[in-house]
């Protein structure tokens, strides 16, 4: 089963405490080192499936082990997951299925509906020769239509021509081992022309950039647009895992600083939220333990208001009772104010 990359792992264990599934199980089976060893020793381990694909282990690894490339080669997506991922490729279709799903008896749809209580119709918006091509990301378009509207509102207030591009970047596919499909999807985005591609879901931004797509995260793009806007709030920031890998947290904080927000940092802001993409639909117990650990870290910050720039994280954090906002939601407030 070896994939030829696992050999660079020296079995030092430096990645263990960085891994959310290890932290809550403390079992080698659910650890990066264990998963890599399983590949090395040709053990078909349940750990392959329980990986949240947050890649925190890669950041912790002193030997530069390319964990993501190892795990995606040995992961086999189940038919259920393949079905879910293919739905995500077409957010509008997904919306219809989910809406109809109330009466459907599929276990998966029921579970999705548990976390996505109120699927919304993805926002369609098009302008001639747009300056900004706004990419919400599949889950944002379904779960956070409001955020997409808010982003649009802010960009319009800045006098920009915008088109919304609904679709999926393929990150979910990649994390489940559907590497080829993921590449097909992301390749489509490489070819987007006529305007700056701006992504509202920061983990998607990271995935696209790593795959060679010219894309800016919403946080990076708005940095150049900010003027006198002010937001008087106390809040804390969650760093979505993939976004954290390419350091997007910096841009997010820079935006917040410019807005004059009172930022109270939580402990380990990049600690996995527990969503792990679609993870919490499939391994509820481990996910619940990770979510609870994350929630404790947030509670200790003393604030209930959390900025999250990635939809699956936002869903999980609201699940845990926090009030969650995207940068776009904060920025939209400044627009209304200046109109008043």
Partner 1 sequence: MRLEEHLRKIVGEPWVISGKERKLYAYDGFTAVEGDPELVVLPGNEEEAVKVIRLLLERGVKFIVRGSGTSLSGATVPVGGEVIVGLSRLNRVYSLEGYEMEVGPGIANVMVTKNAPPHLFYAPDPSSYVVSSIGGNISHDSGGVHVVKYGTTFNSVISLRVVLSNGEVEDLSYGPFLSALPIFVGSEGTLGIILRVRLRLYPRPKTRRSLFAVFPDVRSAGEAVVGIFKRGVIPSALEMMDRNSIKVVEMSRYRAGIPDVGALLLIELDGDEEEVEEQEEIVNGVLTDTGGARLSVADEGKVWNARKGAFPAMGVISPAYLTLDCNVPRRALPEVLEEVSRIAKRRGVFIANVFHAGDGNLHPLIPYDPSSPESLFRAIQASNEIVKEALRVGGVPSGEHGIGIEKVKFMGLYHGEAEMRVMRRIKDSFDPRGLMNPCKLLGGCEPKTEVTRWLWEWD
Backbone dihedral angles phi then psi of residue 9, each to the nearest 5 degrees? -80, 125
Question: For residues 14 and 125, which CB has a smaller minimum distance to ligand SF4 in the complex?
Answer: 14
202 binds ligand SF4 (CB under 6 A): no
Q: How far is the CB of 321 from partner 1 (least distance, A)?
A: 26
Kindly write out the interface string for residues 261-300 of this chain, putting x where it contacts partner 1 by CB under 8 A and - elsewhere: ----------------------------------------
Question: Which position among 38, 39, 57, 168 is part of the footprint of ligand SF4 (CB under 6 A)?
Answer: 57
Question: For residues 37 and 150, which CB has a smaller minimum distance to ligand SF4 in the complex?
Answer: 37
165 binds ligand SF4 (CB under 6 A): no
Question: Which position among 24, 38, 39, 65 is part of the footprint of ligand SF4 (CB under 6 A)?
Answer: 65
Stretch that binds partner 1, among 4-12, 118-126, 137-145, 273-281 (CB under 8 A): 4-12
Q: In a 10 Å sphere around its CB, with 0-12 CB exposed, 13-18 middle and 19+ buried, how is residue 255 labelled? A: buried
153 binds partner 1 (CB under 8 A): no
41 binds ligand SF4 (CB under 6 A): no
DSSP code string of 95-117? HHHHHHTTT---HHHHHHHHHSS
Alpha-helical (H) ranges within 105-178 are 107-115, 138-143, 145-157, 171-175
Distance of CA 333 to the CA centre of its chain: 24
Whole-Å CA distances, 140 to 39, 157, 201, 203, 281: 34, 21, 7, 11, 17
**CA-wise closest residue to 236 among 262, 197, 206:** 262
Number of H helices, E strands in the chain: 19, 8
**CA-wise closest residue to 335 among 155, 135, 161, 127:** 155
38 binds partner 1 (CB under 8 A): yes
Question: Which position among 1, 12, 41, 100 is part of the footprint of ligand SF4 (CB under 6 A)?
Answer: 12
Stretch that binds partner 1, among 30-38, 165-173, 184-192, 204-212 (CB under 8 A): 30-38
Q: Which does 27 bind (CB under 5 to 8 A by kind): partner 1, ligand SF4, none?
A: partner 1
Q: Which does 19 bind (CB under 5 to 8 A by kind): partner 1, ligand SF4, none?
A: ligand SF4
2 binds partner 1 (CB under 8 A): no
Distance of CA 101 to the CA centre of its chain: 24
DSSP type of residue 307: E
Q: In a 10 Å sphere around its CB, with 0-12 CB exposed, 13-18 middle and 19+ buried, how is residue 247 labelled? A: exposed
36 binds ligand SF4 (CB under 6 A): yes
d(CA 25, CA 41): 22
Place of tokens 């709030």: 233
15 binds ligand SF4 (CB under 6 A): yes
Strands 305-307 and 234-237, by their bridges, are parallel
Q: How far is the CB of 208 from ligand SF4 (least distance, A)?
A: 19
Q: Which does 20 bind (CB under 5 to 8 A by kind): ligand SF4, partner 1, none?
A: ligand SF4
46 binds partner 1 (CB under 8 A): yes
Question: Which position among 24, 38, 39, 51 is part of the footprint of ligand SF4 (CB under 6 A)?
Answer: 51
Binding site residues, partner 1, CB under 8 A:
7-14, 16-17, 26-29, 34, 37-38, 41, 43-47, 60-65
Binding site residues, ligand SF4, CB under 6 A:
9-15, 18-21, 32-33, 35-36, 51-57, 60-61, 63, 65, 67
């Amino acid at each position: 089963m070896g994939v030829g990359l696992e050999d660079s792992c020296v079995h030092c264990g430096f990645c263990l405490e960085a891994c959310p599934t290890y932290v809550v199980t403390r079992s080698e089976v659910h650890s990066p080192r264990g998963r890599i060893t399983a590949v090395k020793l040709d053990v078909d381990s349940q750990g392959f499936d329980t990986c949240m694909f947050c890649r925190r282990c890669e950041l912790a690894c002193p030997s530069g082990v390319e964990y993501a490339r190892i795990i995606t080669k040995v992961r086999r997506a189940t038919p259920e997951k393949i079905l879910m991922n293919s739905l995500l490729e077409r957010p509008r279709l997904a919306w219809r299925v989910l809406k109809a799903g109330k009466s459907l008896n599929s276990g998966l749809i029921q579970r999705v509906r548990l976390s996505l209580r109120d699927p919304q119709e993805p926002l369609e918006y098009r302008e001639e020769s747009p300056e900004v091509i706004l990419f919400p990301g599949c889950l944002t378009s379904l779960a956070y239509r409001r955020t997409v509207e808010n982003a649009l509102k802010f960009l319009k207030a800045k006098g920009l021509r915008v088109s919304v591009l609904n679709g999926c970047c393929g990150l979910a596919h990649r994390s489940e081992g559907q590497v080829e499909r993921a590449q097909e999807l992301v390749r489509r985005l490489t070819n987007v022309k006529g305007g700056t591609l701006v992504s509202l879901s920061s983990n998607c931004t990271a995935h696209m950039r790593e795959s060679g797509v010219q894309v800016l995260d919403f946080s990076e793009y708005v940095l150049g647009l900010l003027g006198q806007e002010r937001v008087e709030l106390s809040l804390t920031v969650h760093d979505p895992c993939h976004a954290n890998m390419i350091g997007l947290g910096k841009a997010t904080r820079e935006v917040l600083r410019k807005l004059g927000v009172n930022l109270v940092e939580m402990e380990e802001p990049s600690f996995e939220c527990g969503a792990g993409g679609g993870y919490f639909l499939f391994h509820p117990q481990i996910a619940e333990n990770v979510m609870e650990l994350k929630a404790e870290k947030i509670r200790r910050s003393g604030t209930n208001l959390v900025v999250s720039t990635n939809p699956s994280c936002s869903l999980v954090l609201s699940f845990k009772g926090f009030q969650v906002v995207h940068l776009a939601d904060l920025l939209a407030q400044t627009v209304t104010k200046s109109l008043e």
